[in-house]
Amino acid sequence: MFLRLQSRTKLLTLIAALSAANAAFRIVLAGGPYNVKPTAFLTIIAGIVAGPIPGLIVGWLSMTISDLALGAGYWTIETSAGMAVVGLLAGLLWHRSSSLGRIRMTIGGYLLTMLYDLFTAVVDALIYSYPWQASVAGLYVPFLTGSPTPYPFGFAHEITTAVLCLAIGPALVSRIRKVYHHTA
């Protein structure tokens, strides 16, 4: 009984810590010139370490909590749902993996973040009634679409996640697993 309670406490602590870190990073980095935020990276970490449902919760809470400080709106639903799917998929793909290599995690992190960016771009286009192709193109070639950002917003987000996955991903997963799965 005590061990089950202890493991639930660890799970809630991990979800709270990663969600809070994500929200804080997102708020602090909101004024930066690039879409360089570790939100997808830490959501992926949650899915890998704790499983699909905790990954989903961290993704949802990260976006919802930070949007409360940054200004919530209809987009909070779409961004929260999109990031929740990132955490869910990371957990489904890699939670049971005993060893996750840098290259696999880097490519997977890039693709999961791209999926998030494409999802939110298409949903925005549908909500604002403009061509979804222009919205997607604006993520990668903004100067061709008249985007207000002069840099490839989506590519910056995806590269940030990929670089974090490459540089510290497997080591962070390993260290959190040691603490998280230790029952003594």
Look up the CATH number of the domain holding residue 133.
1.10.1760.20
Averaged pLDDT for residues 104-132:
94
Number of structural domains found in the chain: 1
pLDDT at 78: 96
Phi, psi dihedrals of residue 73, rounded to the nearest 5° = -165, -165
Domain of 177 in residue numbering reads as: 2-181
Least confident of 24-38, 70-84, 101-115: 24-38
Alpha helices in 34-101 (DSSP H): 39-50, 52-70, 74-94
What's the half-sphere exposure (Cβ side, CA atoms, 13 Å) at 37? 25
Using the predicted structure, report yes or no on whether residue 39 has a pLDDT greater than 70.
Answer: yes
Contact call for residues 43 and 83 (beta carbons, < 8 A): yes
* Model pLDDT for residues 46-74, shown as the tens digit of each residue: 999 999 999 999 999 999 999 999 999 99
What is 131-147 written as a DSSP string?
-HHHHHHHHH-HHHHT-
